[in-house]
Amino acid sequence: MGEAPVGEDCTVTRSAEYVGSFPVDDCCLDDQIEQLHTQLKCLITCKRRRPVSLKFSIKGVKMYNEDETKLLMAHALRRVSLSTAWPSEAQFSFVSHNPGSTDAQLYCHVFQARHSRAAQFLNLLLCRCFQLSYLEKHPEEAQGDSVGSAPRRNPSLLNHGFPLSVSALVSFRRAPFQGLLPGSKNDQKSSDDLNSSQDEVFPTSSPSLVRKKAIRNKVLKSGAYRSFTFTPLKQRNVQEQLSASQGKEQDKIPVRRSRAPSLAETEEALAQAVWCWAGIATDSSFSLLADDVLGSYLLCPHPKKPKCGSLIIRFPSGLITHLIGNTHKGKFLLEQCKTEFSSIAELIDHYTESREELPCLLSCARVNHCYEWEESSSSQQPLNPRKSLNKARIKSTNRKDLV
């Protein structure tokens, strides 16, 4: 499907057909999912549809008419409780409160996509919005990232191939003291500009080349290294100038760094981000998964075998980890299952439609962990998302008790 087109305000726009809405009972999450499936089956044959444009962002979902000239519906993301899809029927839907309404009634809004992959993509977009919104509100639970970070080491002439013999171009007495010798004190006035890797300062370990470059840049005069008048202070100044010149050259070389999480992804990258809960720390992902819908899952390295992948699934009995094995033919298969697949995506798609040895099907649905049950004004403090979900469940239980 290519890359999702992204607007200037970080929104992704997709076309679909609006089928309609129906009320959703206030009940526990698993019962609510069952009710949704029953109602969605009844709408498969519905021919009454309206072409619309959907705009997704971490702020919410907006529905416009086909040419995007009229806003038909807008939902703040915190008021959307969950998103789901039925790829085989090209259906996508989400559950939310009516915009600006203090009514506790939930509604499921149903859309018909052009094909199964389009429906799945719409669902992945909204699910990713849920995850990015959670990261924005809980930055302390973001996954630590060391990709692209340079080692924080002070550069040293002695650590770059300068021999420590009598014939050395630089002697110990003339070398910069940066904690290299036993008992020496670290330079407390070291500049932040020197906090780069040794490789960034001197790309080669040849003293001759370094000396020639210094002479060529008119930093040194010929024979300066051999002169006793070349004091440690002068040598430090030379080193700083060489470091600065090398730093400018290194700035021109692109360094691979981790990208900030975004909706601007291809279909494959977006699916991977949603399945892996990209950006969220593993421990937090586990706790969020435990509060998600039945059949939700997390794709991550195996806890006991880091080199192997695993699928952690929320079953009725709790979170169960299934190792993803590799056959000698390069195929993938789930632990304790016999069916082999050519890719992880094919494996997940299969168990979404057929449970086979699993206790239940994998679910496309995802809960919004930043969902707020009550309409909050600008003066109110934001609600804890987990408390909001629990509050919804407690309310449903109390209503049942009253009946």
| 361-376 pLDDT tens trace | 999 999 999 998 776 5
Q: For 137, phi and psi rounded to 5 degrees?
A: -85, -20
User: pLDDT value at position 125?
Assistant: 96
Buried b (16+ CB within 10 A) or exposed e, 28-41: ebeebbeebeeebe
Give the separation between CA 325 and CA 306, rounded to whole angstroms.
Answer: 13
Q: For 74, phi and psi rounded to 5 degrees?
A: -140, 130
Q: For 21, phi and psi rounded to 5 degrees?
A: -135, 155
- What the block records as the tokens of 241 is 């100038």
User: pLDDT value at position 219?
Assistant: 53
Integer angstrom CA distances of residue 369 from 48, 138, 244, 319: 33, 11, 47, 18
Q: Give the residue among 42, 74, 40 at the shortest CA–CA distance from 57.
A: 74
Is the whole model's pTM more than 0.75, yes or no?
Answer: no
Q: Give the residue among 176, 167, 172 at the shortest CA–CA distance from 242.
A: 176
User: pLDDT value at position 305?
Assistant: 86
User: pLDDT value at position 251?
Assistant: 53
Give the separation between CA 342 and CA 329, rounded to whole angstroms.
Answer: 9
User: pLDDT value at position 133?
Assistant: 95
Give the separation between CA 296 and CA 383, rounded to whole angstroms.
Answer: 24
Which residues in the chain show pLDDT less than 50? 2, 8, 146-205, 224-231, 253-259, 377-403
Give the separation between CA 20 and CA 42, rounded to whole angstroms.
Answer: 12
Q: 101 with 89: CB under 8 angstroms? A: no
Q: Count the Cβ atoms, other than its own, within 10 Å of residue 367.
A: 23
Q: Give the residue among 74, 91, 88 at the shortest CA–CA distance from 11.
A: 74
DSSP state of 20: E
User: pLDDT value at position 9?
Assistant: 60
Give the separation between CA 181 and CA 172, rounded to whole angstroms.
Answer: 9
Q: Go through the chain and tell me how many residues it has.
A: 403
Question: Which residue is listed with tokens 């909050």?
Answer: 376
Q: For 216, phi and psi rounded to 5 degrees?
A: -65, -35
- What the block records as the tokens of 10 is 């970080």
- Give residue-wise pLDDT tens across range 26-71: 788 888 999 999 999 999 888 899 999 999 999 999 999 999 999 9
Alpha-helix residue ranges (DSSP H) falling in 107-202:
116-137, 198-201
Q: At residue 116, what is the residue type? A: S
CATH number of 11-138+266-367: 2.30.29.30
Q: Give the residue among 389, 363, 360, 362 at the shortest CA–CA distance from 374.
A: 389
